[in-house]
Amino acid sequence: MHLRSSLHFHAFRVCVQAATLAFFGLNAVASAVAASPLDHRFSLEFETGAVWQSRNQIHIPDSSAGTRFSLTDIQDNGPEVQRRVELTWNVSHRHSLRFVYAPLAFSGSGPFAMPVRFAGSSFAPNSPVDSDYRFDSYRLTYRYLLHDADRLRWRIGATAFIRDAKVELRQQGVTASDSNVGFVPLLSTSLEYDLAPRWTALLDFDGLVSTQGRAIDAAVKIRYDLSNAWYMTAGYRVFEGGVDNDTYAFGWYNFALVSLGVRF
């Protein structure tokens, strides 16, 4: 009798423990499902797609020692495959940091219609010129969640923008190149509007205009949440700007993009 009571008590204790674990487990799952994107500490997004160059004008040096020419005349407009990686760290509910790596490159061959002087070398007309153009950017952005409503979120902040650019021309044994690494501070903002469950419209902007140049990177996207962790986006990005001091280099690029992201 005593043994049977002990067995009953042990079975009851096991049931209570199992029920307790199940309760807390289900509660954790429910909380995870109900969590919003803002509740995640990090998000990692991989972007790709196609990029076209509408304008790419070069004048190096920006004086009578150089010739202003357009790389699109000898490279074509594209498209080229583009890629971009973004890592966002939500330090707290209202404060976030974003790290971006965005490489950009075009290459091609074609003749100039006139003699061109570039970076100390001369290139003859009507003869093929091989060309490479690279503009890689590294960015660190701080944003503050200024407005947080049921469906609308608005962030403002600033971006530290580092560019690593290079232009190279080659023709019949003549090679000339110019590279430049520089820092530019930009203003930054983003808008998110929930269109429907799982669907969000996004506007993302980094940019600044000064007397010596400008840089504008703006994207309009639609995001679809595959789950609480995984999401996809599709949209359009424009990247435009350049410098006008000792060198003149301005470009305009259009992106058709898709991306895959994960929150954790």
Per-10-residue mean pLDDT of the chain, 264 residues long, equals 40 43 41 52 98 96 94 92 97 97 96 96 96 97 96 98 96 94 95 98 96 93 98 98 92 98 98
- Looking at CATH, the fold of the domain delimited by 37-263 is given as Lipocalin (2.40.128)
**Residue 211 has what pLDDT?**
85
DSSP secondary structure letter of residue 37: G
pLDDT, residue 195, reads: 98
Q: Amino acid identity of 156?
A: I
The rounded distance, in Å, linking the Cα atoms of 243 and 212 is 6
- Asked if 138 and 164 count as a contact pair (C-beta separation under 8 A), the reply is yes
**Phi, psi dihedrals of residue 40, rounded to the nearest 5°:** -85, 145
Distance between CA atoms of residues 54 and 56, nearest Å: 7
Task: Kindly report the three-state secondary structure assignment for every residue of 171-236.
Answer: ECCEEEEEEEEEEEEEEEEEEEEEEECCEEEEEEEEEEEECCEEEEEEEEEEEEECCCCEEEEEEE
CA distance 153 to 204: 12
Give the Cα-Cα-Cα angle 229, 233, 239 (nearest 5 degrees).
Answer: 130
Among the listed residues 105, 243, 99, 102, the one whose alpha carbon sits nearest the alpha carbon of residue 184 = 243
Element (H, E) at 19: helix 2-34
Location of structure tokens 């040096």? 61
- pLDDT of 212 reads 84
Longest dimension (CA), the chain: 109
| Residue 214 CB partners (closer than 8 Å, separation 6+) | 207, 208, 240, 241, 242
pTM of the model: 0.82
Confidence (pLDDT) at 1: 39
